[in-house]
Chain A
Amino acid sequence: KAGVTQTPRYLIKTRGQQVTLSCSPISGHRSVSWYQQTPGQGLQFLFEYFSETQRNKGNFPGRFSGRQFSNSRSEMNVSTLELGDSALYLCASSLQWNTEAFFGQGTRLTVV
């Protein structure tokens, strides 16, 4: 069974640009969550989607948004990039509500 797939693995963007990251969950999983990992702040929850609806949202500015499609694939978008957005962005998929999460390899975003 294929795991969680995140694309691309690495990205370099310029301050002020926008970026879209993609996540394909494990087949049959309906929940997708996104996390930001930085050396200073650690792992922080961004948002969670379940059956195309955002169910949870973390404490991030509105520049961070996401969506989930009918096939459970998810994208997150960051607009007007700032240097502080440089991080490893991790996607996790879960079969149902309140079940364990399985993580992808992450997308390393560098903002210059």
Chain B
Amino acid sequence: AQSVTQPDIHITVSEGASLELRCNYSYGATPYLFWYVQSPGQGLQLLLKYFSGDTLVQGIKGFEAEFKRSQSSFNLRKPSVHWSDAAEYFCAVAGVRGAAGNKLTFGGGTRVLVKP
């Protein structure tokens, strides 16, 4: 069964500093990969996705993620964090083409706190 691991439950970063959130997945083939962000009491907003092609993908709000097949990882990065980036971030995987539809398996999430 597919699974997603986000090793860091909490991360505290100073405003203006860089941020990297880790995500590792377990799946029989290369899945579709996503990062979502959730503010308190809100739904999930899609930051970026990887389906195929270039392994470095750009997303909204200045985020990027790099897919590394050899490490089964899809880490999220941002060069300079803003106070508004404080939120919970979820990595998710979906099945390969034609198989599992749009069912997402989520990691446990990483809560990001931003210090002024």
Residues of A near any B CB (own CB < 8 A): 4, 6, 31, 33, 35, 42-43, 45, 48, 50, 55-56, 58, 90, 92, 94, 97-106, 108
Contact = CB atoms under 8 A, between A and B. Distances in A.
B12 interface: no
Interface magnitude class on chain B? 20 to 34
Contacts of A103: 36, 43-46
The listed residue with most B CB atoms (<10 A of its CB), out of A48, A98, A106, is A98
Contacts of B96: 98
A45 B105 contact: yes
Chief secondary structure at chain A's binding surface: strand
Contact of A98 (B36, B41, B44, B101): B101
B102 to A, nearest CB: 4
Nearest to B44: A103
The 7 closest A-B pairs by CB, nearest first: A43-B106, A103-B44, A103-B43, A94-B102, A105-B43, A56-B103, A106-B43
B108 to A, nearest CB: 5
B103 A43 contact: no
Nearest to B109: A42
Nearest to A99: B102
B24 to A, nearest CB: 16
B29 interface: no
B36 A56 contact: no
16 contacts: A6-B43, A31-B101, A33-B102, A35-B104, A42-B106, A43-B92, A43-B104, A56-B103, A90-B43, A98-B101, A99-B102, A101-B34, A101-B46, A103-B36, A104-B43, A106-B43
Contacts of A50: 101-102
B98 interface: yes
Contacts of A99: 102
Contacts of A94: 102
B45 A100 contact: no
Contact of A55 (B34, B101, B104, B106): B101
